[in-house]
A and B are shown apart, each in its own frame.
Chain A
């Protein structure tokens, strides 16, 4: 089905189901319980899971398949956001034109940057992409102020033309939507002590992320995907086999740039503003971390990595000393303050420390990322079953 073999179709259907059930899956704790702060099923965070998951899926097509490590993909994210906000300002609050323009502009941008950067490989390629992204960031921050509104960031205005939307209510800023469906509208379902948020924005992002995942699945299984893996495996052999590796890597670069631009457009669709900091190198590094953490070159890895990082960022940064005190209040006072002091380094502002430690542990013990961890658990589980079978047999 869908041009995939049975196994992949099953895999895709599982991913689709899990994605659509996200509001349930991420809110396992009752709203008023002490554990509720570990719930991740609120719209803003779920949107981020989908958006950064999408970006990581695209990044993985470049890095995971070809091995070319770009340190500049945030530039495309930023370009996508700026393009989208401009569409909101000039044309319409409908997110479709914004998404389309963002994909076109980021694709062209990636074509230019990729064309030059791909003249080199390895660390030199990474440095070139990093340089281009930093240049874009600096330009957006200062020189290109008429387009980017510099430091303040590009925002909506009451007197923007929005030619397609006609004259609308001018008392408050409009909200991005999809043919009248507002991105920020949320339906809350209460079941007993639980409550689940169904947000239009999340579902729009989720459907687009699923499409993105499906496209990446097709690419992975296609001859093009095989060529990209060949680039990573032995570029020399590829060239002596009559294949020009350059257009293959460039195509992968542009595709991953378009994914990033699309993610940028969705960020803007959820919250219609675009700032230069979205292009900073830390943002480029983040998608690299996501992909490696989840498992570069695997289909699900980047999504898991993106979810993992965004979860840590949002949940660990929310925990503060007051919460820690309430957790450890059972300890004697002097010990409590020491324990709380220790854990406080890893939460709130210090969540990066947690992320850093987890990243190191995963890279050292699970070089294949979270996916490898999952596979190890799965095979351990299977073998455990087998052992039981074989030990049961003589008994029968």
Chain B
């Protein structure tokens, strides 16, 4: 039994079958990569996991509980954090505030009326956020306006916002897209370090095979909304079905 169990999930957009009978099992404390050509339904699958979309049929169980029908904030409070394909950050807030907000969510739950004390007086939160910025090597950008960061830094910030919550399951949708090679390698190192240090499960969508093979323990190949195979990285290289998926896409 994996920490995340997706069974028979279907999702249609009008005439388009975005997900067709998807089954996926992600084991606890592993890194599971989901790869596949553009439009394969990878992001749609993540959307079904975090409450952004509701599948037409099927079940999604996390940690023994169904996530279907729950609101996004409830699903996050269960222990699932997500990095989006296009970075979702609080652009109008400072970098440190961006990291403090998830700390508050983690400590105080979905809502708490703390309207009197200043933000700075919450010493533990400030410390936690600053440590996280140190971990992602962004401490020098602490007081910058998040909206003015480079694309790569926005991704790193979003990742920091998810990691600081210490989630049980971290969903990463192309975390290194748009990053320079050096930043990509830093990200790989960061994720490796996190994985070694904490009990965390990751599901990662990536087009960059270097990232996939550096991190993943299991790989699922998705094509046209359906999983083709699930294998270890060693067995997936040069697998005919994988070739077929990518080449088939190219021919169409």
Contacts and interface: CB of A to CB of B under 8 A. Distances in A.
Given A4-B118, A222-B118, A227-B104, A244 B90 contact: no
A242 B89 contact: no
B188 interface: no
A234 B72 contact: no
Contacts of B88: 234, 236-237, 240
B209 interface: no
B105 A229 contact: no
Contacts of B104: 223, 227, 243
A242 B77 contact: yes
A77 B91 CA distance: 34
Given A223-B122, A226-B101, A240-B50, A232 B116 contact: no
Interface residues of B, number: 39
Nearest to B114: A223
Given A230-B93, A237-B90, A243 B105 contact: yes
Given A223-B114, A224-B113, A224-B114, A241 B119 contact: no
Nearest to B77: A242
B76 A242 contact: yes
Residues of A in contact with B, size category: 20 to 34
Interface string B27-57: 0000000000000000000000010100000
B106 interface: yes
B229 to A, nearest CB: 30
A114 to B, nearest CB: 15
A251 B113 contact: yes
Given A236-B88, A240-B82, A219 B115 contact: yes
Contacts of A232: 92
Interface in B106-122: 106, 109-120, 122
Contacts of A3: 116-118
B239 interface: no
B118 A233 contact: no
B244 to A, nearest CB: 35
A229 B105 CA distance: 15
A244 B117 contact: no
A218 interface: yes
B115 A224 contact: yes
| Interface-centre pick from A224, A225, A248 (highest chain B CB count, 10 A) | A224
Contacts of B165: 241-242
B97 interface: yes
A247 interface: yes
A241 B118 contact: no
A239 B92 contact: no
Contacts of B192: none
A171 interface: no
Interface in A1-37: 3-5
Interface string B147-171: 0000000000000010001000000
Nearest to A239: B72
Nearest to B79: A242
A222 B101 contact: no
Interface of A: 3-5, 218-219, 221-227, 229-230, 232-234, 236-245, 247-248, 251
Interface of B: 50, 52, 71-73, 76-77, 81-82, 84, 88-93, 97, 100-102, 104-106, 109-120, 122, 125, 161, 165
